Every structure is written in C-alpha cells, then in structure tokens.
C-alpha cells in the first residue's frame, strides 16, 4: 500500500468502516510512514474542529407547525401492492363496505406493527452508528464499576444494567446516544468478533409490542430480526431495553437473559 492508497481510505479508517484486512494494511502503513501519520492526525483534528461548528436546531414553533401539518393531513392511500392484492382477491366482493372494513382492519394491525417497526428500526440504526464509529465509545472499559459512574450527570435517569460482562460477553465500554426523541445509555459488549449494543432509555410514552412476547427472566420480551440484525426489546420498571447484534439469535437471547436477570 502506498501513501495515496492509505490517504484515500483515511476517513473510512477513522470511522471504522473498513474491512479488517484493509484496516490492518492501513494501520501497518501508518506505523511506517510519518507523513501519513501526520495526515491522519490532521484529519482527526479537522473532524474535531468541525464538530464544534454552531448547530441550528429547529425552533419549537417550527416543530409545532410541522407536527400539526402531519397530524391534520389525510391518511395516505394504501400501497399499490395492497391495492392489487385486494382487487385480485375478491373482485366480486369489491363493494365499498367490504373495502372499508378490510382497510380499517389493515390499518388497525398495521398501526401497531409500524410503531414496533419504528422502535426496531431505531435500535438497528443506533447500532449501525456504533459499528461505523460515528458514535464511538466515550468510556472504554471492561469494568462496569467504571462505566456506570461515567453516566452520572450525563443522563436524566440512572441506567440499570446489572450485568458486568464476562468471558463470553466482555463489556467494551459505553456512550450516550439518542434513541428516538430521548437520551439512551449505550453499553457495548463483544461476542468473539461480533458487537452487541444495549440501549437503555426511559420507556415512558413509547409504543411497545404487546404481541409475540416471550419470557426473558421475569419480564416479557419481544424478539425480531431487521436488516440482518437480531433485536431483543424488553421493559423493566420505567426503563426500556433494546439489544442489537448480528450474533446468532440464540447467543443474543443468552446475553439478553444475563442482562435482564442481573
């Protein structure tokens, strides 16, 4: 690998987006090339500087107007595939009454499914940010007694995570992330070469699955798969938990059991 190759991938390298072999090649190049090491430091400093740019969040008034616009808009028509299905299934029964009944049933089921899909989608997105390094660990430590105190003063709640990690699932560290509209404590565990992210957040006001639950210790849990990742959701007291990883489903269930059981 020469300097131009190394510098072509510097940003991806810093953000943890490279495959292990390419990451290793770049690390080896940096160790032997002072000029590229300087370049890597300069790029890192630039990113740090740019992260200090002024932010311009939307005003509360604008958010109110946007919310009102979505709330008052007429419902979107069903997706084309649904229309085709309904039409071919029962052309003889395609009266307005039947259609309305079918549509209302569809939306009733879809509403709950969509809300749960929103939770799951957020958990996977947050996990991807952890994997990509866009949300790097802010406290790197395998010791829970070092990780948990780090959250004090940074969150408006106390995350309850009794599982300190062990040889099978060592704890890597923690960070703070946004889960939908609220803060979440992030605990990152490893399983061989895989990463598992646990998000702990206030569950109040969030939609929560009420079907397809299975016991996880003393609490009911919801397990699903999205975009190739296994996800486990459960609640304990006022806190919600979302555990995401690409490890085997049985292994993730084992980790969830240890966390939930404490």
Partner 1 sequence: MAQVETIPVRAARYSEGVLPAESSGPQAALGREALVHADSLHSLARYLTGNAADAEDLVQETYARALRGADQFAPGTNLRAWLFRILRNTFVSAYRRRRNSPIVGGLDTVTPSIHASSEDAWLRGDAELDQLRGLVAGEIEAALMALGEEARMVILLDLEGLTEVEVAHVVGCAVGTVKSRLSRARAALRQRLRDYAT
**Binding range to partner 1, per CB under 8 A, among 85-93, 120-128, 153-161, 212-220:** 120-128
State yes or no: residue 85 binds partner 1 (CB under 8 A): no
Closest CA to 213 of 112, 133, 84, 65: 112
| CA dist., res. 202 & res. 160, Å (int) | 11
Q: Which of residues 23-42 bind partner 1 (CB under 8 A)?
A: 35-36, 38-39, 41-42
Residues 223 and 232: beta-carbon distance below 8 Å: yes
Helix 96-132 / helix 80-89 crossing angle, nearest 10 deg = 140
CA angle 251, 256, 259 (to 5 degrees): 130
| CA dist., res. 240 & res. 189, Å (int) | 18
Q: Which of residues 127-156 bind partner 1 (CB under 8 A)?
A: 129, 132, 134-135
Give the largest Cα separation in the chain, rounded.
Answer: 77
State yes or no: residue 105 binds partner 1 (CB under 8 A): no
State yes or no: residue 58 binds partner 1 (CB under 8 A): yes
**Binding range to partner 1, per CB under 8 A, among 173-181, 196-204, 236-244, 245-253:** 173-181
Q: Whole-number minimum distance, CB 20 to partner 1, in Å?
A: 18
State yes or no: residue 19 binds partner 1 (CB under 8 A): no
| CA dist., res. 252 & res. 250, Å (int) | 5
Q: Whole-number minimum distance, CB 17 to partner 1, in Å?
A: 7
State yes or no: residue 158 binds partner 1 (CB under 8 A): no
Exactly one of 27, 87, 93, 118 binds partner 1 (CB under 8 A); which one?
Answer: 118
Q: Is residue 226 helix, strand or coil? A: strand
For the chain, the 3-state helix, strand and coil shares in percent, each to the nearest 5, are 50, 20, 30
State yes or no: residue 91 binds partner 1 (CB under 8 A): no
Exactly one of 19, 181, 193, 211 binds partner 1 (CB under 8 A); which one?
Answer: 181
State yes or no: residue 228 binds partner 1 (CB under 8 A): no
| CA dist., res. 183 & res. 234, Å (int) | 17
State yes or no: residue 51 binds partner 1 (CB under 8 A): yes
Bridge-based pairing of strands 229-236 and 219-226 is: antiparallel
| CA dist., res. 256 & res. 262, Å (int) | 10
Exactly one of 19, 70, 193, 211 binds partner 1 (CB under 8 A); which one?
Answer: 70
Nearer to partner 1, 161 or 231 (CB): 231
Q: Whole-number minimum distance, CB 109 to partner 1, in Å?
A: 11
Q: Where are the beta strands (DSSP E) in 104-217?
A: 139-140, 171-179, 182-191, 194-202, 213-216
Would you tell me which residues interact with partner 1 (CB under 8 A)?
A: 3-4, 7-8, 11-12, 17, 35-36, 38-39, 41-43, 45-47, 49-59, 62-73, 75-79, 107, 110-111, 114-115, 117-118, 121-122, 125, 129, 132, 134-135, 178, 180-181, 205, 207, 226-227
């Amino acid at each position: 690998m020469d300097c131009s190759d190394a510098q072509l991938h510097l940003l991806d390298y810093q953000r943890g987006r490279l495959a292990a072999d390419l990451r290793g090649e770049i690390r080896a190049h940096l160790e032997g090339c002072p000029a590229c090491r300087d370049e890597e430091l300069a790029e890192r400093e630039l990113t740090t500087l740019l992260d200090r740019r002024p932010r311009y969040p939307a005003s509360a008034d604008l958010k109110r107007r946007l919310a009102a616009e979505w709330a008052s808009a007429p419902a979107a028509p069903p997706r084309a595939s649904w229309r085709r299905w309904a039409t071919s299934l029962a052309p003889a029964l395609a009266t307005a009454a039947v259609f309305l009944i079918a549509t209302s049933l569809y939306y009733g089921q879809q509403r709950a499914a969509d809300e749960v899909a929103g939770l799951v989608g957020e958990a996977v997105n947050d996990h991807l940010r952890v994997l990509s390094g866009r949300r790097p660990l802010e406290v790197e430590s395998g010791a829970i007694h070092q990780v948990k105190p780090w959250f004090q003063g940074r969150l408006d709640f106390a995350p309850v995570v009794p599982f300190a990690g062990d040889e099978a699932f060592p704890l890597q560290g923690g960070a703070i992330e946004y889960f939908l509209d609220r803060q979440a404590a992030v605990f990152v565990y490893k399983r061989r070469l895989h990463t598992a992210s646990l998000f702990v957040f206030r569950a109040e006001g969030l939609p929560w699955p009420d079907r397809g639950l299975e016991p996880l210790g003393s609490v009911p849990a919801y397990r699903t798969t999205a975009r190739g990742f296994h996800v486990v959701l459960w609640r304990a007291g006022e806190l919600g938990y979302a555990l995401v990883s690409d490890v085997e489903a049985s292994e993730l269930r084992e980790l969830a059991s240890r966390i939930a059981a404490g």
